[in-house]
Structure 1
Amino acid sequence: MYRSRVAGTGSYLPPGVLTNADLEKMVETNDQWIVERTGIKRRHMASSDQACSDLSLIAAENALKDAGLTAQDLDAIIVCTVSGDQVMPSTACVLQHKLGARNIMAFDLSAACSGFVYGLSVADQFIRTGVYKHVLVVGAEVLHRFVNYQDRETCILFGDGAGAWILSRTSTEDKNVIMSSHLHADGGLGDLFVLPAGGSKIPFSAEVLENKGQYVRMKGREIFKNAVRTMSHCCQEALDANEMTADQVDWLIPHQANNRIIEAIAEYYEFPKEKVVVSVHETGNTSAASIPLAFQMAKDDGRVKRGQVILLTAFGAGLTSGSLLMRY
């Protein structure tokens, strides 16, 4: 058995920005209402000619550069997204071609906002068992194209972006490794957050467009309660599995959905606010991209450093959830 280390990281936020002031002109809302309930001040928006694979490409290239590798070194590509370029082929296959990678395994993983933690866990298993040496894991979303900007409950939340990590094989003696990951799903609560149309159950039609079935729908209060409960459980699971306590964690990096959710989780564990990475004010909810984007911001400004213990946790449609504990 081998272990996995984070060899390189990268991210990309498209330059287009949608502020709360912009939203005030589009729907009945205001900056104070949005900030008090979500903490979000602005979101980045992909341009009309940018697809999910385009954002993924820039983040992946940055991660490869950080790792000192080229696309030819990759053994597998996992793109975690719910807003891929198209139903088929996968965005991972499109990204493989754009990167100029070899004829390697490439697939999309759909676990919504938990996608990046799911993807890291899958990549970790391939590396631990000796199948692959270098795996690219990307979390990328162009969510604004699935948002109804007449629905103030959802349109204030979502933004676009991409983050990428390279997981590489290392020895069992290496201390800076992924320690464990813990994944869950509760399909019985799947109706709390849905994108109704576009699949085999409800294919696109004139009726779908008339009923706005192509846009995300969510039950906010129920999502909030389940997010806090489930992510707290996943964090405790990771700590217990590694016989650690919360005070031994240098950084908690949760999915950036809502500042009130993040604060509730931190309060549960009595994490000092200064040990919780928050980027939701700048990015909004970027689903599978949110954790790597938040990580990269903290790494770039010097907060996150090699050798630190970092706890990731996420919650998303499905309902999916998960955590991952690592020493970076």
Structure 2
Amino acid sequence: MRGTGSYLPDQQVASEELSLAMGLAAGWIEDRTGIRHRHVAGSGQAASDLAAGAARRALEAAGLTPQDIGLIVLGTSTPDELGPSTACRVQAVLGAPQAAAFDVAAACTGFVYGLQAAVGWLATQRGKPPYVLVIGVEVYSRFLNTGDRATAALFGDGAAAAVIGPAPPPYGIASMGMGADGTRAGDVLIPAGGSRTPASPGTLASLGHTIHMDARAVRSFIVDVLPRLIAEATDDAGVKPSDLSLVVPHQPNPRLVESLAEHAGLAPGQMVIAGQDVGNIGAASLPYALDRAVRTRGIGEGEVVLLAGFGAGLTWGHTLIVWPPGSI
């Protein structure tokens, strides 16, 4: 991992303001989630604009230019349009003519799935620049029912990115894993707008183009999957949770995720929690937390970092990294 970067829209909405707008006590959202603020994209901003902002910062951190990139993989649930891929929009905005580009539709696990694609490409590609931009981005504010506290209280807009490239042994990615359970696709979804339920006056009237979430089912999934991901990743790598320098999870509810650290065998300070001022930014949540850790704490050569993603689909995945020399 050569460099990371993130981009948040300028507008902030405080949880206190949002709680009052929904007829709740001022501290209701923050007390239950730990979220203080979330960012909201401007009227002229699309997912590709946020993604390009994060990508530029990751490239700057890596000391590279868009011409050095051979592939762009972008995870999102809120693309600019149904087609073409938002990754192609980003390629054009950045000016990265040598980069192939595609989207990954794995919801909040999109960044981890994107890393898997990046590693596979790096292992087989010849003749292209040997660097990949992996991006997570969401503009959830366009897909929220503001009267639904289960979703409106949690979601925000933002983007984060990382530049991936070759690393000398024993550094780099030590293990990866992915999984899915499509029987639970209905737990979190935007039900209208696709080929099954195309847009119509009826779907607009019924708010079918907004996020629908079974909050109880999703909470149960998080409580189960995060400790399991940590256990599976450490078992695969032959290490113990205590050997991990950092665990960087997706954090749809920062307070809930932080409460699972002890159950997963982690000591205070091992888990990176960075969602307090952004909320759940989906595929950008995990790389945003990673970027914050890099820029505030710093990650040293040889430190072992676990990325743990999970989200709608249902999907989940992990990436274990032995931090390479020369990274920011």
Q: CA deviation at 1:296?
A: 1.2
Q: Quick check: 206-215 or 259-268, which moved more?
A: 259-268
Q: Paired residue for 1:292?
A: 287
Q: Paired residue for 1:117?
A: 112
Q: CA deviation at 1:300?
A: 1.3
2:142 is aligned with 1:141: no
Q: Quick check: 106-115 or 131-140, which moved more?
A: 131-140
Give the aligned residue type for 2:162. W
| Superposition misfits of 4+ residues, deviation over 6 angstroms | none
2:234 is aligned with 1:223: no
Unaligned runs of 5+ residues in structure 1 are 1-5
Give the aligned residue type for 2:234. L
Provide, for residues 108-151 of structure 1, a one-character-per-residue CA deviation record: whole Å limited to 9, x for no partner: 10100111011011101111334561111000111111011011
Name the % identity: 40
Give the aligned residue type for 1:269. A
Pick the aligned partner of 1:157 from 141, 151, 154: 154
Normalising to structure 1: TM-score of the pair?
Answer: 0.94
Q: Paired residue for 1:195?
A: 190
Preserved CA contact (<8 Å) 2:230 2:264? no
Q: CA deviation at 1:103?
A: 4.2
2:57 is aligned with 1:57: no
Q: Quick check: 297-306 or 83-92, which moved more?
A: 297-306
Q: Paired residue for 1:7?
A: 2
Q: Paired residue for 1:36?
A: 31
Pick the aligned partner of 1:239 from 234, 246, 264: 234
Q: CA deviation at 1:194?
A: 1.1
RMSD (Å) for aligned C-alpha atoms: 1.4
Preserved CA contact (<8 Å) 1:231 1:323? no
Return the alpha-carbon distance in structure 1 between the equivalents of residues 274 and 220 of structure 2: 21
Return the alpha-carbon distance in structure 2 between the equivalents of residues 161 and 302 of structure 1: 21
Q: CA deviation at 1:152?
A: 1.3
Q: Paired residue for 2:253?
A: 258
Return the alpha-carbon distance in structure 1 between the equivalents of residues 241 and 40 of structure 2: 35
* Count of matched residue pairs: 321
Q: Paired residue for 2:40?
A: 45
Preserved CA contact (<8 Å) 2:203 2:209? yes
Unaligned runs of 5+ residues in structure 2 are 324-328
Return the alpha-carbon distance in structure 2 between the equivalents of residues 8 and 263 of structure 1: 26
Return the alpha-carbon distance in structure 1 between the equivalents of residues 269 and 99 of structure 2: 41
Q: CA deviation at 1:185?
A: 0.4
Q: Paired residue for 2:71?
A: 76
Give the aligned residue type for 1:159. G
Q: Paired residue for 2:297?
A: 302
Preserved CA contact (<8 Å) 2:16 2:29? no
Give the aligned residue type for 2:132. V
Distance verdict in 2 for CA 1:303–1:66, change over 3 Å: closer
